[in-house]
Structure 1
Amino acid sequence: MGKSLNTNLAKAKSGKNDEFYTQLSDIDKELKHYRNHFKDKVILCNCDDPRVSKFFHYFSYNFEKLGLKKLIATCYKSQDCDLFSQNKSEQAIFLEYNGDKNGDNFPNPEEIGIIPLQGDGDFRSKECIELLKQADIVVTNPPFSLFREYIAQLIEYDKKFLIIGHQNAITYKEVFQLIQEDKIWLGVDNGGTKWFQVNDDYDIATESRKKIENGQKYFSMGSIVWFTNLDIKKRHENLILYRTYNSEEYPTYDNYDAINVDKVADIPIDYAGVMGVPITFIDKYNPRQFEIIGITKAVGFHLRTKLYPQQVQVDTNGKRTLVTKLNDGATIKLNSAPKDKTYYVVDDKYYVQMYARVLIKRK
C-alpha cells in the first residue's frame, strides 16, 4: 500500500475517520451473484446512513425484483439521518421498508417506517442487536476500525452476511481461523481499486486517489475484498495449475516446513507437501482442492521450526539496524547479500523475509 493509503487506514483504525460509503456500481457488481439467497429474506444494513448509503438504495429499489421480505437500516446519531432532507438529525433511527404499496415500484417516504432509537445506533447496542436477531442476511460496509468485533458478532448470532473489508483482514487471528474452519470465505469481486464516497473534510494527500463528482468527494482504495458465508459458485471452482516443481524456483523456508510460492498462478501441480502462498490465494480457495494448514504470522507461529537471535537488518540504502523482525514471518536463507531488497544478517548468514504467506497443501 502507498503512504497515503496507509495514513488513511491508520486514521480509520483510530475511529476518527472511518466513514467510507461504497459505490452503487460496486454493490451491483457483487450482489448480482447472490440473488438466489435474498428471496423471502429480511436484509439488515446496520452500519449505514440511509440518506447516503448505496446499500439501502440497492435493496429498496430492487425490493420486488429480489423478492425481499423486509429491509432494515440503522443510522448513527452522529450522522445525517434525515433520509428525505439535508437537515441534520440528533436522533438515531432505524428504517424499515416492506416493499412498494402504491404500485409505482419506488420507495416513497410514506412507505418507509422511520423509528427512533433510544441509543446512538451503534451495532453493538442492545436495541441494534435486537434488530440483528430479526435479520436473515446482513449486508454492509462495517467500520474498518471495528472489523474484528463486527464479524465476531455476526458469528455469535449465527447470521449470514456479505460485508466489505480490507484484504489485510485475512491475516487477523480471528478472521483467519474462521477462513481455515471454512466458516467464511471471500466473495466474487475482490482486489483492484474501489472508490468510496467520503466526507468533505476527509484528508486525501495523493491526488490520484481523489476525485470530485457532482459535488461529492471520493477516495480510492486498493485491496478491498468481500467477506461472506453465503455459498457462491466461485468457491467450488478448481484453481487451474500448470507449473511443475523444482527446488531452484521454489525454495524451502528456513523456519517453516514449506516451500515458497511467490504467485498464486505459480502453485506447482506436482508438489504434495506444504506450500506458502500469498494471501491473495484466499480469493481462489476451493476447500475441496486445498487444505489450509496455517499462516506465517501470529496465528501460525506455532508452526515455526526455529527462532532467530537478534539480527542486523540492512535496508536498500545500506542502513543497518538491530532488530528481531526475522521471527515475524517466513524466511529464506541466501548464499549472498541481495542488492535490491532489505535483508537480515544472523551469524554471518543472509536471510530475507517474505510477506504473509498462507500455508496450504493439495488434497
Structure 2
Amino acid sequence: MNDRKQISAKRFFGLDFLRALSISLLLFSHCSWIYNSTSLFGRLQDASGFLGVELFIVLSGFLIGGILFKQFLHENYGVKDALLFVSRRLMRVLPSYYLVVFILTIVYLIFGFSVAQVWKYLLLIQNFATPIPAFFPESWSLPVKEMGYIFAVFLLVISAKLVVNASKKVLFLSVVFGLIILTFVAKTYYNLHSANLDLKLWSFEIRSVVIYRIDSVLIGVLFGYFNYYYNDFMVAKRKLFFASGIMLFLVLILSIVVLKLRLSNAAWFWNICCLPLVSLMICMFIPFLLSWEMKSKRIANAILFICNISYSIYLLHYSLVLFLMKYFIDTKNFSLWQLNGFALLYLLVTVGLSYLMYTFYEKPINQYRAKNFKLNEK
C-alpha cells in the first residue's frame, strides 16, 4: 500500500483504484474478527483478504519494476546505485513500520504478552523461512516485498560486474527469471516434503513465507519491465490482456469449485501453481487500468485520499486498533446492529488515526526522502 506511481509524472486513476481496492478488501476481511461468521459472508471475507494482499504485492512489484530497470540501464550501475535504491525503499517503509512495531511492543508488554521475537521484525526476517510469529501477523507481506527487491537489486549488481559485455535487458530478465525459478524450486521442495492438508496452515507455511513468495513480487516487477519497454503494445492490447485475466480467474474458480482441487487430492496446485497464477491474473488487468480515466473529481479525490493513507491503514488497522477495541469492548453478546455499529466505529477510528499518522509522520518523511534520496535514472 505504499508505492507512489513513478511510471510517469501523470497519475493513473486505475492503479490508484487498485491500491484503494486492495486496502478496502483487507479491512473488510479483518472485520471477520468482529462478526465471527462461518457463513458464506465469512468465507467471502476470507477470500477478500487473500485477494487484497495479493493485489498489494503484485501492484507494488509492477510500480517498482520500471523504476528498477530504468536505474539498471545507467551506464555505471553499481553498488552505490543499489545501496541508494535500497535506502530509498527502506526509508519509505521503515519509519512508519518501526513506529508501529514500537507501539505494539509497549502494548504487548503492558498486557503481559511475549516480545521475544520482536528483533526479527526490526530486520524484516520475521517470516523469512518460517511462519510469522503471533506478534503483528499481518506484517508478513512487507518482508515479502522488500526482500524481493533487495535480492533482485544486489543480484543485478553482481551480474553487471561479472558479465560486463552482456545486454542489460538480458541480465535484468535473467536475474528476475532466475529468482522466480528459485522460488518455484523452493515450493516444489516444500510440496514433496510436506503432508499438510489444512488450508489455514498452508496460508501460514506457504502463502506468508518470504522464500515461497518472492515470485509474486517479481512477476509484478517483470510486468513493470514489459510496460516500460512495450507500453504502446500493452495499451493497444489492453482488452486482450483484460480478457486473459478473466480467463485465468475462471480457470482458478473452475479448479477450486468445479474440479474441487484440494490439498488432499492436489497439493501441487495449492503449493506450487495457485499463487503465481493469481499474480499473473492480476497483472493481466493492469494495462486496462492504465487507460482508465475518471472524470468525476470527487471520486478521484476520494480514491486518492484512500491511497495516501493506505500504508498507515495497513500498519494500524488490525493488531493495534482492532485488537485494543476488542480487548476493551466485549462484543460476545452484541446484536447484529450493535456489531454493525462497532464495525463502523472501528473503520472511523482506523481511518482517523491513519490520516493523522500519514499527515504528521509519514508524509513529512516521504518529502524528506524525495528530496534527499534521488535515484539516478538517466
Structure richer in strand, relative to its length: 1
Structure richer in helix, relative to its length: 2
TM-score normalized by the length of structure 1: 0.22
Which one has a bigger Cα radius of gyration? 1
TM-score normalized by the length of structure 2: 0.21
User: Greater relative contact order (Cα 8 A, min sep 6): structure 1 or 2?
Assistant: 2
